[in-house]
Amino acid sequence: MTSPRFWLGVDTGGTFTDFVLLGEGIERIHKVLSTPSAPEEAIFQGIREMGLEEALGSGRLAIIHGTTVATNAALEGKGARTLFITNEGLEDVLLIGRQTRAELYNLTPTRDDAVIQADDILGIAGRLNADGQEIVPLDEAAIEQLVARVRAVRPEAIAISLLFSYLNPEHEQRLHAALADCAGFVCHSAEVLPIAGEYERGLATWLNAWLGPKVADYLDRLGRGASPAPVSIMQSGGGTLALDAAAGRAVNLLLSGPAGGLNAARAIGEALDEPRLMTFDMGGTSTDVALLDHGFRLTLEGHIGRWPVAVPMVDMHTIGAGGGSLAAVDAAGMLHVGPTSAGADPGPACYGRGGTGVTVTDANLVLGHLPDDLQLGGGLPLSRAASEHALAALAKQLGTSPEHAARGVIDLANEHMAQALRVISIQKGFDPADFMLLCFGGAGGLHVCALAEMLGIPRALVPRNSGVLSAQGLVRAPRQRELIQALPTETDTESLNALASTLIMQAHEAMQTEEGGALDPAALEQQVMLDVCYAGQSFPLSVPWQGDIAAAEAHFHQLHEQRYGHRLQAPVARVNLRARLSLRETLPDAPAGRVTAPGPVRTSQVAGLGPVPVRGRDSLPVDEPLNGPLIVTEAVATTFVSPGWQLLRLVSDHLLVTRIQ
């Protein structure tokens, strides 16, 4: 097979699909409008527009992709008909859940339409005890009866989750083998998520099966269209997986796209010696926020929509506030922004594609934060007249002027994003002022000063090519396998070290199979984490495992006090062991940013400020501070520097914004 000479990061968002190409001393960026009904169409359109068809066909192009197919299917409830197989007597576990309520004090709550139907849950006799020992055999006759019942239903997918299978997967494996030809997609919990917690483990397995056929179908279409080029898929944990392996792990792709941006943010922080970052990625449909403290954190407590998802994923908070978020007035006359989005079709009113509702982008355009002559994504002209028409209708509903309505839309969107940033910082024991705010996404730079001001953060960074930073992070993401194993009640140093070695070996074998040959030991990085909690608690914290139980427990006490404000004089329970193996590929460096002559002076009429200078990013001098107000434009992003803030273009070509008042 021809070795790749070009690497293409592709991030599919709700509004735009972003591309970053790296190789042979070049770096190119590109955007096209997404095609939600068939995401691969936008990908191949971008490849054609970038002139990469020959490199694709010759196998000299490698594609690294962050996909939202699993996320969108989960949020929209559009999974496959799935049968859930569990122990007899436990058929109601997924239906009961944790009995938590979204509205705790609502005496008449409304229940969402249940996606998991009781008729799609089947029980079978056979039981293991808490040590993984068989106490009720799994009878062959019972298996045959189950197969007959499943064949009568003809499901698209099957999920198998039995008690204590994380300690002994034999029963699940037998059922998997017996049911393998009864549906197009079959999985069992011991391979999806081998941890304690019947509800979380069972739900993760069900989600994997429920989303699996749609994800596998999409990846098959993408793989066939890209052949012979190799395709890797970003996982929720921040590393990539070969396309063939990813097709069976849909639940691990739920934060596929956003994880790419955190990879890039981490690399930027390391290069600038800024290990403590708060990031917000504001795209067209949503905003993702995260906290990086010497690397990003993984969590087993993530959520997608209404469901807890216990697979390892980047610790991130997502809200429905993006450039395309729609503003609306409710029956009480109150203004709301999001979570509904105008999407890519028709998009905001200013796109001129038939949209009539007011979005955050329309408000930024009318207020002058986006210059009238700007072309989004490098080629999409904006219609100020369409935005003004939409805002006039919204202002009439609110009984105010279009300018005040636009300001209200921006203020409300900012408050939503600031609150999301508080959730991942203040609510977890961190002071935002101790971090640098790093923004990306096409709309991030328009709001960075306002958010930093609201949170008391004195410095912010707008990275080079911030509008496509997630795609840039995909290009440099490591190939990665992360394995997790629940621990028995009694463990000691020797057993933990033995299990850590086994997990690392299993990850190495899996990656070696994906790579089709031997792996370079010098390019491999490994990390082992121990999940621990106080005895009786339900939610563990992760600490590094370095072969010393006392050191791990001391680290846990310190982390618990930082997170929750106290530590307990209580025994520490060891819950899970996690092993991560990463393979970093050596890629060529991106070329340095260029500096061009300033060119003619442009201005944008900004509401409340008058004419504000507009500068192209490449025309900014290096290491010469410029005071706001100022608007900086580039092909894939726009930055609005508020009064009282100072902009500095660094040698690294990132923009540093500092509070001066």
SS3 letters across 391-417: HHHHHHHHCCCHHHHHHHHHHHHHHHH
**DSSP state, residue 621:** P
CA proximity to 295, closest of 464, 460, 427, 478: 478
126 and 204 housed in the same domain: yes
- Please report which helix (H) or strand (E) contains residue 571, including its range: none
What gap in Å lies between CA 5 and CA 60, rounded to an integer?
A: 5
Local confidence band at 111 (pLDDT 50, 70, 90 cut-offs): low
User: Does 503 fall in a domain?
Assistant: yes
User: Does 412 fall in a domain?
Assistant: no
160 with 179: CB under 8 angstroms?
Answer: yes
Local confidence band at 263 (pLDDT 50, 70, 90 cut-offs): confident
Cα 306–310–312 angle (5° rounding)?
Answer: 125
What gap in Å lies between CA 212 and CA 159, rounded to an integer?
A: 10
90 and 198 housed in the same domain: yes
The arithmetic mean of pLDDT across residues 216-224, rounded, is 94
User: Does 634 fall in a domain?
Assistant: yes
Average predicted confidence (pLDDT) for the chain: 88
547 and 511 housed in the same domain: yes
Number of H helices, E strands in the chain: 17, 36
Express each pLDDT in 587-619 by its tens digit.
Answer: 666 666 666 666 667 899 999 999 999 998 888
At position 206, the amino acid (one-letter code) is W
606 and 568 housed in the same domain: no
372 with 604: CB under 8 angstroms?
Answer: yes
CA distances 580 to 479, 501, 525, 605, 629, Å, are 11, 11, 8, 52, 46
Express each pLDDT in 79-110 by its tens digit.
Answer: 899 999 999 999 999 988 877 777 778 888 77
198 and 95 housed in the same domain: yes
CA proximity to 437, closest of 429, 445, 40: 445
Q: What torsion do the CA atoms of 391, 394, 395, 397 make, to the nearest 10 degrees?
A: 170
- Of 154, 188, 215, the last residue of a domain is 215
Neighbours of 385 (CB within 10 A): 12
Q: Give me 426's structure tokens.
A: 């203040």
User: Does 270 fall in a domain?
Assistant: no
**pTM for the complete prediction?**
0.85
Burial class (CB in 10 A: 0-12, 13-18, 19+), 608: exposed
Question: Which CATH number covers residue 538?
Answer: 3.30.1490
147 with 178: CB under 8 angstroms?
Answer: yes
- Residue 300: per-residue pLDDT: 78
- Residue 517: per-residue pLDDT: 66
Q: Give me 88's structure tokens.
A: 């007899």
User: Does 523 fall in a domain?
Assistant: yes
CA distances 395 to 398, 499, 606, 608, Å, are 5, 63, 19, 18
541 and 485 housed in the same domain: yes
Q: Determine if residue 178 is left, alpha or beta; phi over 0 gives left, psi from -120 to 50 gives alpha, anything else beta.
A: alpha
572 and 606 housed in the same domain: no
142 and 206 housed in the same domain: yes
Structural domain boundaries, residue 544 = 479-583
- Please report which helix (H) or strand (E) contains residue 83, including its range: strand 82-87
What gap in Å lies between CA 297 and CA 631, rounded to an integer?
A: 34
- Please report which helix (H) or strand (E) contains residue 198, including its range: helix 198-226
**DSSP state, residue 547:** S
Per DSSP, helices labelled H in 227-354 are 243-246, 256-271
Q: Give me 444's structure tokens.
A: 């991030």
Cα 14–15–19 angle (5° rounding)?
Answer: 95
- Residue 178: per-residue pLDDT: 95
142 and 175 housed in the same domain: yes
User: Does 271 fall in a domain?
Assistant: no
Contacts of 83 (CB under 8 A, 6+ apart): 120, 121, 122, 150, 153, 155, 157, 158, 159, 183
Percent with pLDDT over 70 in the chain: 95
User: Does 436 fall in a domain?
Assistant: no
Q: Give me 14's structure tokens.
A: 């709700």
Is the preceding peptide bond at 155 cis, omega within 30 degrees of 0? no
| Beta strand 157-160 pairing with 82-87 | parallel
191 with 164: CB under 8 angstroms?
Answer: no
- Residue 595: per-residue pLDDT: 62
570 and 607 housed in the same domain: no
What gap in Å lies between CA 606 and CA 406, rounded to an integer?
A: 12
- Of 583, 614, 629, the last residue of a domain is 583
Express each pLDDT in 415-468 by its tens digit.
Answer: 999 999 999 899 888 999 999 999 998 889 999 999 999 999 999 999 988 888
- Of 529, 552, 583, the last residue of a domain is 583
- Residue 501: per-residue pLDDT: 93
Helix (H, G, I), strand (E, B) or coil at 490: coil
Tell me: pLDDT of 1 over 60.
no
Strand residues in 283-417 grouped as ranges (E): 287-293, 298-299, 302-304, 307-309, 313-314, 316-319, 325-329, 335-341, 375-376, 380-381
What gap in Å lies between CA 123 and CA 127, rounded to an integer?
A: 11
Is the preceding peptide bond at 308 cis, omega within 30 degrees of 0? no
User: Does 624 fall in a domain?
Assistant: yes
Local confidence band at 376 (pLDDT 50, 70, 90 cut-offs): confident
- Residue 588: per-residue pLDDT: 60
Q: Which residues sit opposite 8 in a β-bridge? A: 21, 63
Burial class (CB in 10 A: 0-12, 13-18, 19+), 502: middle
Neighbours of 308 (CB within 10 A): 17
Give the range with max mean pLDDT: 111-120, 185-194, 468-477, 485-494: 185-194
Local confidence band at 563 (pLDDT 50, 70, 90 cut-offs): confident
- Residue 113: per-residue pLDDT: 59
Count of structural domains within the chain: 3
What gap in Å lies between CA 258 and CA 218, rounded to an integer?
A: 19
What gap in Å lies between CA 101 and CA 8, rounded to an integer?
A: 43
What gap in Å lies between CA 480 and CA 478, rounded to an integer?
A: 6
CA proximity to 631, closest of 613, 608, 606: 613
The arithmetic mean of pLDDT across residues 289-302, rounded, is 83
173 and 91 housed in the same domain: yes
578 and 626 housed in the same domain: no
Express each pLDDT in 314-326 by its tens digit.
Answer: 888 888 788 888 8
What gap in Å lies between CA 154 and CA 60, rounded to an integer?
A: 42
Tell me: pLDDT of 51 over 80.
yes
